[in-house]
């Protein structure tokens, strides 16, 4: 008689690009779903639970060891039922031993016999709920996310983090909240945008690119101020391009600027093309779980200037472009440094980062979490 395989589940039903502010988390989940089928071993099966929109993004295909279960679109009522009740019931009926929630939010009601793994990306919702960015940013949504983050730490049998820096923050939170920290793994993550051959610098327009945000921890206002001053005083030939939403005061700052504003949601291929065509990307977020945009810019052949924070030091090391937040003088030096890079420099940096952040190791480290949890049943 054939021995029954161990079944792992990946829950993607709660991913919705139209409702989720962080497309990076969705890209992580899709990237992991596409990498896991190549990493599962003999005697293992993977069940992927995905809504129709996310199913269309998957490169993974059904096989004798991979099953894709399409779940209903994440309308508000269906999403709550699916996330907290129906999703785990589906997995239990399929005989799944370990169910992974890569977005980080796990069901409130436990399901007997089903073990749970979650990826927590950052503690930023906790900071908003605490009022770190002003009381005006404290909301029911931020408080719900704060509850969900602590609930995940209490509920899961294993935790996956995307950086050592992020894991350290969760360990501090668990200690302060009197929560026993679950077994933890650091998987990092791979490049989520489609890669292509870099464009030679001489064939690009002098575009200084920023992926804007109206969230205060992203510090887009400072980025725009610095970019405007730098292009005015040092490189008047440069053109500003700002993607995404901005706070009202930042929009006012740009009113007299010829900056190219792109406010609509871009597909991954559109975003990759814009980054590849730019001369430099500016990223000065003060709080990240991983810090993907500057890494992906370098992977696409475009240098990045980025705030020197703990997580960016961990992810990018001594990669050129770091500057001390709020220090315009250092920003200027970082801009001058990356604009002086030649094609040979970029090729070397790009190769090192692509070798370091590949989806294969991410999938293998994630499977370690699954296997340990399954063995502990």
Question: 1 lies in a domain?
Answer: no
Question: 17 lies in a domain?
Answer: yes
CA-closest candidate to residue 49, choices 29, 35, 64: 29
Domain total for the chain?
2
Same domain, 268 and 292: yes
pLDDT digits (tens, 9 = 90+) for 337-357: 999 999 899 999 999 999 999
Question: 67 lies in a domain?
Answer: yes
Contact present, 115 and 183 (Cβ < 8 Å): no
Question: 314 lies in a domain?
Answer: yes
Same domain, 101 and 206: no
Same domain, 54 and 152: yes
Per the listing, tokens 């993004």 go with 57
- Which band of pLDDT confidence, cut at 50, 70 and 90, is reported for residue 145? confident
pLDDT of residue 1: 39
Q: Is the pLDDT of residue 195 over 60?
A: yes
- Mean pLDDT of all residues belonging to the chain: 92
Quick one: what percent of the chain has pLDDT higher than 90?
76
Same domain, 218 and 93: no
Same domain, 301 and 152: no
pLDDT of residue 77: 64
Question: 235 lies in a domain?
Answer: yes
Same domain, 267 and 226: yes
Question: 305 lies in a domain?
Answer: yes
Same domain, 312 and 367: no
Which of 107-116, 315-324, 340-349, 367-376 is predicted with the least confidence, judged by mean pLDDT? Answer: 107-116
Same domain, 36 and 153: yes
Q: Is the pLDDT of residue 283 over 90?
A: yes
pLDDT digits (tens, 9 = 90+) for 20-61: 666 789 999 999 999 999 999 999 999 999 999 899 999 989
pLDDT of residue 268: 87
Q: Are strands 260-262 and 239-243 parallel, antiparallel or unpaired?
A: parallel
SS3 assignment, position 174: helix
Q: Edge-to-edge strands of the sheet including 6-12?
A: 66-70, 44-50, 6-12, 98-101, 115-120, 158-161, 184-186
- Which band of pLDDT confidence, cut at 50, 70 and 90, is reported for residue 113? confident
pLDDT of residue 72: 80
Same domain, 129 and 213: no
Q: What are phi and psi of 106, to 5 degrees?
A: -110, 160
Q: Is the pLDDT of residue 296 over 60?
A: yes
Cβ contacts of 148-152, under 8 Å, gap ≥ 24: 148/104, 148/105, 149/104, 149/120, 149/123, 149/125, 149/173, 150/177, 150/179, 151/106, 151/108, 152/101, 152/104, 152/105, 152/106, 152/118, 152/120
Question: 195 lies in a domain?
Answer: no
321 token code pair: 């472009």
Same domain, 161 and 232: no
| Distance, CA of 90 to CA of 41 (rounded, Å) | 23
Same domain, 166 and 269: no
What is the domain range of residue 327?
A: 201-356
């Amino acid at each position: 008689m054939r021995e029954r395989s161990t079944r792992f589940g990946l829950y993607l039903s709660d991913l919705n690009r139209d409702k989720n502010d962080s497309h990076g988390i969705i890209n992580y989940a899709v990237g992991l779903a596409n990498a896991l089928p190549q990493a599962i071993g003999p005697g293992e099966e993977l069940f992927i639970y995905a809504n129709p929109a996310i199913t269309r993004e998957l490169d993974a295909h059904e096989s004798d060891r991979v099953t894709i279960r399409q779940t209903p679109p994440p309308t508000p009522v269906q999403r709550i039922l699916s996330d907290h009740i129906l999703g785990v019931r589906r997995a239990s009926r399929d005989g799944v031993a370990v169910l992974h929630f890569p977005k980080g939010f796990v069901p409130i009601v436990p399901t007997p016999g089903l073990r749970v793994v979650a990826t927590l990306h950052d503690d930023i919702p906790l900071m908003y709920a605490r009022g770190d960015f002003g009381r005006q940013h404290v909301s029911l949504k931020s408080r719900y996310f704060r509850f969900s983050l602590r609930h995940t730490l209490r509920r899961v049998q294993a935790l996956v983090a995307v950086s050592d820096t992020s894991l350290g923050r969760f360990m501090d939170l668990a200690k302060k909240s009197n929560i026993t920290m679950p077994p933890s793994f650091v998987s990092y993550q791979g490049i989520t945008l489609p890669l292509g051959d870099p464009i030679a610098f001489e064939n690009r327009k002098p575009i200084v690119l920023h992926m804007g945000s109206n969230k205060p921890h992203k510090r887009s206002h400072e980025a725009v101020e610095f970019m405007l001053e730098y292009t005015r005083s040092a490189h008047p030939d440069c053109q500003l391009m700002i993607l995404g939403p901005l706070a009202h005061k930042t929009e006012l700052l740009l009113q007299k600027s010829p900056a190219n504003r792109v406010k609509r949601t871009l597909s991954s291929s559109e975003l990759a093309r814009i980054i590849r065509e730019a001369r430099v990307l500016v990223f000065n977020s003060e709080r990240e779980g991983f810090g993907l945009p500057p890494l992906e810019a370098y992977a696409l052949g475009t240098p990045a200037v980025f705030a020197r924070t703990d997580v960016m030091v961990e992810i990018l090391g001594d990669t050129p472009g770091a500057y001390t937040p709020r220090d315009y003088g250092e920003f200027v030096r970082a801009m001058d440094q990356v604009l002086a890079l030649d094609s040979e420099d970029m090729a070397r940096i790009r190769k090192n980062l692509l070798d370091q952040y590949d989806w294969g190791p991410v999938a293998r480290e994630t499977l370690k979490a699954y296997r340990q949890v399954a063995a502990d049943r």
